[in-house]
Amino acid sequence: MKPDDDDTLKAALAEAHRADTARSPSFDKAWRAARRGSQTRASPVPWLVTCATLVTAAGLAMWLVSQLGPPPAQIPAGTVWRGPTDFLLETPGLVTLRTVPQLVPTLPDSVLRPDPDARRGNP
């Protein structure tokens, strides 16, 4: 880039803006219009109404939620998990292990707990 490129660009931009200064609107007019605009906009009433509405809506929503009560207890999805290799534990003898076997189910109670007098030989 040559050093006089800056001058070229300066001249070009001055050319582009040549008419702007002449066309610029009057400051007093623009400032007065802005002042009017700021005075109309500065009113806090619409903001207050909006805020009051929002607060009321939020309060109503909270009250409604509190009236509904707690949701029914549910097991959340994903809490019961079965491993993909669980089937490997399903062995043929697993049924025996899951239940406690009754060792002598058919013997009468007298056999399991013998009378102490009979052991001593008393009539």
Partner 1 sequence: MKPGDLEQHIAQLHPASFAWALTCCSWDRTEAEEVLHSAYVRVLEGRARFAGRSSLKTWLFSVVRTVATETRRRRWFREVALKRWLEGTPPRDSVAGPDEVMASEERGALVRHALQQLAIRQREVLDLVFFHGLTIEEAAQVMGVALGTARVHYQRGKRRLLALLAPEEMHEAG
Q: Between 20 and 117, whose beta carbon lies closer to partner 1?
A: 20
Mask for 9-28, x = binds partner 1 (CB under 8 A) = xx-xxxxxxxxxx-xxx-x-
Q: Between 31 and 118, whose beta carbon lies closer to partner 1?
A: 31
Q: Count of residues binding partner 1 (CB under 8 A)?
A: 29
Q: Give the up-direction half-sphere exposure of residue 78: CA atoms within 13 A in the CB hemisphere.
A: 0
Among candidate residues 34, 12, 37, 38, the one with its CA nearest the CA of residue 25: 34
Q: How far apart, in Å, are the Cα atoms of 113 and each of 4, 117, 118, 121?
A: 121, 12, 12, 16
Whole-angstrom distance, CA of residue 52 vs CA of residue 90: 65
Q: Which stretch binds partner 1 (CB under 8 A): 6-14, 60-68, 99-107, 112-120?
A: 6-14
Binding-site ranges for partner 1 (CB under 8 A):
1, 5-6, 8-10, 12-21, 23-25, 27, 30-31, 33-35, 37-38, 41-42
